[in-house]
């Protein structure tokens, strides 16, 4: 059995609990929250409860620690856990700056432990189909790509916990919400060379940004556009990802990017394209992304192979967020290779 402990028993921890319980060979043995009441829904016989993360890290029965605390606390906890010899499942964003991310990666290497970062959208059926088409070269030369996140996180969402909407702990719409979309763009399109960006706090009463628009140039020469906002009235409207190439157009959309909206390729007949759309529509959500990640991590720990989403992947998404933020702050384009922290 690969035995998991969870630090931070809030909203997302529930998905970790469900994922661990559905994964063969995985078992939840400990939970930790500084607020004992937050652990009540997780209390079960055989699950130890800690209010101090240090005590959980001393628990020899824990092999893997899932870090589900506010984002600004991930790095410190992850480094301590790695030093204690625990493998890591770290919620996104893995850290709030590149120095923290580098120290996390180095601590894992030094202790010989594995780390995965939770970017569950990669496991959506429509996005798996899109990745396959990219790997087959079906688009030919790619002109541009677009990621759009038009969501609603209302004021009550920000008011429910003091960390939400702060720069230090939450980081704003790109860091907290759209980092998944940035991760998908990098996964599909490869590295980014340069970004320009505008960001603003337009509607929510928060310290960090609620609205962000950015343009990118990928190393391949393709261009990209990212629009992200948590201010869309009155509810989530759209999360989409589009790729436009010389021989193909693909748009994945809906309120969450689970549906194929356009699927046209020079090497596919209309019937073949429709068959892919129908296959995705039969099961648009697939296996929950958190479960895919826990299954992958469990196998990685058992076999010693790398997880599918590594610390370096988490760092790449974080780096793109920071590049956009830096470009918005300075009013100048930012090259990613010049970014230090």
Is the Cβ of residue 142 or residue 169 nearer to ligand NAD in the bound state?
169
Identified binder of ligand NAD from the candidate list 38, 131, 279, 308, rule CB under 6 A = 38
How many angstroms separate the CA atoms of 107 and 94, rounded? Answer: 14
State the nearest-atom distance from the C-beta of 172 to ligand NAD, in Å.
11
Identified binder of ligand NAD from the candidate list 86, 92, 315, 316, rule CB under 6 A = 92
Is the Cβ of residue 20 or residue 118 nearer to ligand NAD in the bound state?
118
8 Å CB contact between 12 and 68? yes
8 Å CB contact between 25 and 1? yes
Is the Cβ of residue 68 or residue 185 nearer to ligand NAD in the bound state?
68
Told to check if 8 binds ligand NAD by CB under 6 A, we report: yes
Told to check if 34 binds ligand NAD by CB under 6 A, we report: yes
State the nearest-atom distance from the C-beta of 160 to ligand NAD, in Å.
7
Q: Write down how long the chain is.
A: 341
Is the Cβ of residue 210 or residue 218 nearer to ligand NAD in the bound state?
210
State the nearest-atom distance from the C-beta of 320 to ligand NAD, in Å.
16
- Residues 108-127 contacting ligand NAD, CB under 6 A: 118, 120
How many angstroms separate the CA atoms of 117 and 103, rounded? Answer: 15
- Residues 218-247 contacting ligand NAD, CB under 6 A: none
State the nearest-atom distance from the C-beta of 96 to ligand NAD, in Å.
10
State the nearest-atom distance from the C-beta of 275 to ligand NAD, in Å.
30
DSSP for 9-31, written as a single string: -SHHHHHHHHHHHHSTTEEEEEE
Is the Cβ of residue 9 or residue 29 nearer to ligand NAD in the bound state?
9
Told to check if 255 binds ligand NAD by CB under 6 A, we report: no
Q: How many residues bind ligand NAD (CB under 6 A)?
A: 24
Tell which residue, 10, 6, 7, has the closest CA to residue 161.
10
8 Å CB contact between 239 and 254? yes
Tell me which stretch binds ligand NAD (CB under 6 A): 8-16, 214-222, 300-308, 314-322.
Answer: 8-16
Residue 143 has phi, psi (to 5 degrees) of -85, -55
Told to check if 49 binds ligand NAD by CB under 6 A, we report: no
Compute CA distances 12 → 58, 87, 166, 216, 258, whole Å. Answer: 24, 19, 18, 31, 20
Environment class of 146 (CB within 10 Å of its CB; exposed 0-12, middle 13-18, buried 19+): middle
- Residues 150-169 contacting ligand NAD, CB under 6 A: 161
Compute CA distances 26 → 67, 118, 218, 311, whole Å. Answer: 16, 17, 39, 21
Environment class of 112 (CB within 10 Å of its CB; exposed 0-12, middle 13-18, buried 19+): exposed
Residue 71 has phi, psi (to 5 degrees) of -60, -35
Buried b (16+ CB within 10 A) or exposed e, 316-328: bbbbbbbbbbbbb
Tell which residue, 264, 257, 246, 324, has the closest CA to residue 286.
257
Told to check if 181 binds ligand NAD by CB under 6 A, we report: no
Identified binder of ligand NAD from the candidate list 25, 35, 106, 281, rule CB under 6 A = 35
State the nearest-atom distance from the C-beta of 39 to ligand NAD, in Å.
8
- Residues 67-86 contacting ligand NAD, CB under 6 A: 68-71, 73
| Residues near ligand NAD, by CB under 6 A | 7-13, 32-35, 38, 53, 68-71, 73, 91-92, 118, 120, 161, 176
């Amino acid at each position: 059995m690969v035995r998991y402990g969870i630090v931070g028993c809030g909203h997302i921890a529930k998905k970790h609990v469900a994922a661990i319980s559905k994964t063969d060979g995985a078992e939840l043995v400990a939970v930790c929250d500084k607020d004992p009441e937050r652990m009540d829904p997780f209390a079960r016989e055989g699950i130890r409860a800690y209010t101090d993360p240090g005590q959980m890290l001393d628990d020899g029965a824990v092999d893997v620690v899932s870090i589900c605390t506010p984002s600004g606390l991930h790095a410190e906890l992850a480094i301590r856990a790695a030093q204690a010899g625990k493998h890591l499942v770290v919620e996104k964003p893995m850290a709030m700056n590149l120095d923290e991310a580098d120290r996390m990666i180095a601590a894992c290497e030094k202790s010989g432990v594995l780390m995965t970062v939770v970017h569950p959208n990669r496991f959506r059926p429509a996005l798996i189909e899109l990745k396959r088409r990219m790997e087959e070269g079906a688009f030919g030369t790619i002109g541009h790509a677009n990621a759009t996140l038009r969501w609603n996180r209302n004021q009550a969402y920000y008011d429910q916990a003091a960390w939400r909407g702060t720069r230090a702990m939450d980081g704003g719409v790109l860091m907290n919400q759209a980092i998944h979309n940035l991760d998908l763009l990098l996964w599909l399109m490869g590295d980014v060379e340069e970004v320009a960006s505008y960001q603003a706090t337009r509607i929510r009463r928060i310290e960090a940004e609620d609205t962000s628009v950015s343009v990118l140039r990928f190393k391949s020469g393709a261009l990209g556009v990212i629009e992200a906002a948590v201010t869309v009235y009155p509810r989530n409207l759209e999360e989409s990802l589009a790729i436009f190439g010389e021989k193909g157009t693909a748009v994945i959309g809906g309120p969450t990017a689970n549906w194929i909206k356009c699927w046209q390729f020079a090497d596919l007949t209309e019937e073949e394209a429709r068959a892919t759309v129908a296959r995705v529509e039969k099961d648009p959500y697939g296996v929950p992304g958190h479960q895919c990640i826990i299954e992958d991590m469990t196998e990685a720990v058992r076999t010693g192979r790398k997880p599918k989403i590594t610390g370096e992947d988490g760092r790449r998404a974080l780096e793109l967020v920071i590049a956009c933020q830096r470009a918005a702050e300075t009013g100048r384009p930012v090259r990613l290779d010049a970014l230090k922290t």
